[in-house]
Amino acid sequence: METAPAPDPDLLDKVTNLAKRRGFIFQSAEIYGGFRSTYDYGPLGVNMLRNVKQAWWRSMVQTRSDIVGLDAAILGPPAVWAASGHLETFTDPLVDCRKCKERWRADKIDGICPNCGSDQFTEPRAFNLMFKTQAGPVEGDGATAYLRPETAQGMFTNFANVLATTRKKPPFGIAQIGKSFRNEITPQNFVFRTREFEQMEMEYFVPPAEAEQWYRYWIQVRYDWYLDLGIPEALLRLHEHDAADLSHYSRGTTDVEFAYPWGWDELEGVANRGDYDLTQHSSASGTRLEYFDQASNERYTPYVIEPAAGATRAMMAFLLAAYHEDEVEGESRTVLRLDWRLAPYQVAVLPLSKKPELEGVSREVLSRLQPHFMCDYDVTQSIGRRYRRQDEVGTPYCVTVDFTTLEDRAVTVRDRDTTEQVRVAIDDLRAYLVERTGA
């Protein structure tokens, strides 16, 4: 087994601090002392998280004719979760430390209480991770609802609706991005494991005989997606689960793993779920969830291949992989080498000085770029400082407007990674940036 590359021991702290200081991710309800394990995405973070989701949607839906999208409800009735198996089995083993009374997930501690060091625990008991709530003004069993712990069930319960309305035939997929909720026993490591998080899941329905081939296909496609968006190969690996470790529904699961500062851990899971979900919902709901193949005159229950990724967890991995400290002209700098598709801002427009002569043309440059790129506009501090601020949040290009611009209608474009500067005519600027980024 490969060992994870030795990380900077302070990397997690550095990225967490940068995320807070520059407005990527804030502790939720911070002015009230915070609410454990919930986070708010600030002005830069919301841009980046949207970019992560957009890159996924583009690769999974926009550029494919075999996958359609869905946005299903977060609240659901118990019947869905009974049929899916979640009410029964979506549990983690919970233990209490007999000494300090802290509660832990038994499979995540090595027999020693991380709080007090005791090795005395209660027997593990199954703790269901779903958040239960009441829908409507009455309490009681009839009003029970659950917040979804995964987005996948919406794809299964809408299988017949999607088939009827889109005329797709297997192999085809349904994709969804949205919030999921799990009452995690020990949320940890910043946004790696939180109680409220965002998932990007796709259920790919295939003829049973093709399931293995599509399972292998999706493992590769999903691995390549992270590579393509700039995570180095050395920080990624595939980990296939042993048969003994598989979830109750799975015929095969392979995780895409990332080398986090604490070692290899899951980024995304790709599973061959067989016909488990459609069969369960068919028998529980009384609605046939099958495909009728007119060519062969056969009716069958498709198998499902599911790549299940976390949007918030992926964003964290992209931040960790992008974080670098280097030297420019003898000065150290922090730079996020984010792919331009993920960077919160693709371009920063920086007037060289606050003098009013530069404002008109600077605003003109900004408004020419804004329809095509997410842009920042910054007039405070020295130009060197402003470059550093943009490097630190991963802005790939800085466009500087100076006094010569008033004469030659050209600006200086600075590249984040090389720090090279070139002079580009304002009229050619959009084309220049499109060519460099592929936007």
The piece of 95-103, 263-271, 320-328, 426-434 that touches ligand ATP (CB under 6 A) is 263-271
Shortest Cβ distance from residue 431 to ligand ATP (Å)?
38
Q: Which is nearer to ligand ATP, 196 or 290 (CB)?
A: 196
The piece of 2-10, 66-74, 304-312, 414-422 that touches ligand ATP (CB under 6 A) is 304-312
Among 76, 261, 269, 351, binds ligand ATP (CB under 6 A): 269
Q: Is 197 in the site for ligand ATP (CB under 6 A)?
A: yes
Q: Is 193 in the site for ligand ATP (CB under 6 A)?
A: yes
Instruction: List Cβ neighbours of 23 (8 Å cut-off, separation of 6 or more).
Output: 42, 43, 44, 45
Distance of alpha carbon 14 from alpha carbon 193, whole angstroms = 18
Question: Please, are residues 348 and 375 in contact by the beta-carbon 8 Å criterion?
Answer: yes
Shortest Cβ distance from residue 309 to ligand ATP (Å)?
5
| Footprint on residues 335-394 left by ligand ATP (CB under 6 A) | none
Shortest Cβ distance from residue 267 to ligand ATP (Å)?
6
Q: Is 266 in the site for ligand ATP (CB under 6 A)?
A: yes
Q: Is 184 in the site for ligand ATP (CB under 6 A)?
A: yes
The piece of 58-66, 292-300, 305-313, 389-397 that touches ligand ATP (CB under 6 A) is 305-313
Q: Is 152 in the site for ligand ATP (CB under 6 A)?
A: no
The piece of 77-85, 190-198, 362-370, 385-393 that touches ligand ATP (CB under 6 A) is 190-198
The piece of 6-14, 69-77, 194-202, 317-325 that touches ligand ATP (CB under 6 A) is 194-202
Q: How many residues bind ligand ATP (CB under 6 A)?
A: 15
Q: Is 182 in the site for ligand ATP (CB under 6 A)?
A: yes
Q: Is 45 in the site for ligand ATP (CB under 6 A)?
A: no
Q: Is 162 in the site for ligand ATP (CB under 6 A)?
A: no
Q: Is 268 in the site for ligand ATP (CB under 6 A)?
A: yes
Q: Is 312 in the site for ligand ATP (CB under 6 A)?
A: yes
Among 45, 170, 261, 310, binds ligand ATP (CB under 6 A): 310
Q: Which is nearer to ligand ATP, 168 or 193 (CB)?
A: 193
Among 52, 162, 229, 308, binds ligand ATP (CB under 6 A): 308
Instruction: Give the sign of the dihedral formed by CA 52, CA 264, CA 274, CA 297.
Output: positive
Shortest Cβ distance from residue 167 to ligand ATP (Å)?
30
Q: Which is nearer to ligand ATP, 24 or 291 (CB)?
A: 24
Chain residues binding ligand ATP by CB under 6 A are: 150, 182, 184, 193-194, 197, 199, 266, 268-269, 308-310, 312-313
